[in-house]
Amino acid sequence: MAALIRGLRAGRALRGLGGVAVQGTVSLQCSNVRRGFHRAALLRLASDSKSDTSVPPPSYHEVHTAGESSSSSAQGESSEDAQPNTSFQDQSGEHGEDYETEEQLQARILTAALEFVPQHGWTVEAIAAAAETLGLSSASTGMFNNGAGDLVLHFVAQCNAQLAETLAEQNNQVQLGQAEAKKTAEFLKDAVETRLRMLIPYIDTWPQAMSILLLPHNIPDSLKHLSTMVDDIWYYAGDRSTDVNWYTRRAALTGIYNTTELVMVQDSSPDFEETWAFLDNRIKDVVNMANTAKQVQATGEAVVQGLMGAAITLKNLTGMNQRR
């Protein structure tokens, strides 16, 4: 890994020296970069290290030129990437001033790859195309052990982070009195709609993404993302329950979200009207069920009271209640 980074730095430095940020069309630079990667790839295969926290800092010149181009975008990525993919190698302690961590670089590549998804689908080709636009070799897809899975999980994490930000912002507005607090059903509907709308640009290829998320080795991560998202939505909706309701509410919302997502991928109505209508109906169902449950409980309690009253009356009548 260390060698790979060094190779990347060398590639970028050479590009800087060349003075032109081109998509690898200058053959001399290209071949240098490829040679660097080839060497790096060999070294990586040879070495066994999983996570290399002792990467020696590259030469000052390299850092300087690499830093200019990467620091601004890296900061943008790291703040956005609230939930880094768990299959990334962990180098979170590596924040030098102009030093981009591997995590940040991967995040940058994956974010860029999203643009190529409509064209290539959720595949390694999209990642490779993105790597090339960033001036890296398409061989840098080797960084992603999980391939397309990394791309999909990155996208899901990004969307969830965006949703959490939006909900927090709305919450602030309500706290400051600048906006009205929504009712629970409406809040849930809006939150789920906001989150699902983020899929619209990729809706044609989304079934492929969904199937990737259902692969056995991706299931733990995708479940984690899903449960965090549902927890966030309920938290901002005002749920502070500390009993079984905590679980039933989240289970209900997970069901609503998943079914609505499925409806959305095969919805062809203008602006997905049918999907939002479906969502509305499902939320109404859940609210109805909750109300019914409450009513049943109240009725049950009333019935019990009635029976107790009848029993006491009977005891009184038969004289069993007298103190002896």
Name residue 315's amino acid.
K
Among 54, 242, 268, 318, binds another protein (CB under 8 A): 242
- Of 231 and 280, nearer to another protein (C-beta) is 231
Q: In this structure, what token pair is assigned to residue 162?
A: 């965006």
Total site size for another protein, rule CB under 8 A: 21
- CA trace torsion 303, 309, 314, 320 (10° rounding): 130
Q: x/- string (CB under 8 A) for another protein, residues 247-266?
A: x-------------------
CB of 175 to another protein, least distance (A): 5
CB of 244 to another protein, least distance (A): 6
Residue 162 is a binding residue for another protein (CB under 8 A)? no
Residue 178 is a binding residue for another protein (CB under 8 A)? no
Among 20, 28, 46, 244, binds another protein (CB under 8 A): 244
Integer Cα distance of 185 and 126 in angstroms: 38
Q: Within a 10 A sphere around the Cβ of 139, how many other Cβ atoms? A: 17
Residue 53 is a binding residue for another protein (CB under 8 A)? no
CB of 247 to another protein, least distance (A): 6
CB of 172 to another protein, least distance (A): 7
Residue 240 is a binding residue for another protein (CB under 8 A)? yes
Integer Cα distance of 278 and 317 in angstroms: 58
Among 162, 171, 208, 254, binds another protein (CB under 8 A): 171
CB of 151 to another protein, least distance (A): 24
Instruction: Output Rg (C-alpha) for the chain, integer angstroms.
Output: 28
Residue 174 is a binding residue for another protein (CB under 8 A)? yes
Which residues neighbour 40 within 8 Å (Cβ) at sequence distance 6 or greater? Answer: 3, 4, 6, 7, 8
Residue 168 is a binding residue for another protein (CB under 8 A)? yes
Among 22, 179, 181, 311, binds another protein (CB under 8 A): 181
Among 238, 255, 300, 309, binds another protein (CB under 8 A): 238
Integer Cα distance of 196 and 203 in angstroms: 10
CB 71 within 8 A of CB 100: yes
Does residue 88 sit in helix, strand or coil?
Answer: coil
Q: Say what angle helices 2-18 and 27-46 make with each other, to 10 degrees.
A: 170
CB of 168 to another protein, least distance (A): 8
- Of 39 and 182, nearer to another protein (C-beta) is 182
- Of 15 and 189, nearer to another protein (C-beta) is 189
Closest by alpha carbon to 159, among 196, 209, 116? 196
DSSP state of 204: T
Residue 172 is a binding residue for another protein (CB under 8 A)? yes
Residue 272: phi and psi, rounded to 5, are 55, 40
Closest by alpha carbon to 312, among 303, 300, 302, 320? 320
* Residues near another protein, by CB under 8 A: 168, 171-172, 174-175, 181, 184, 231, 235-247
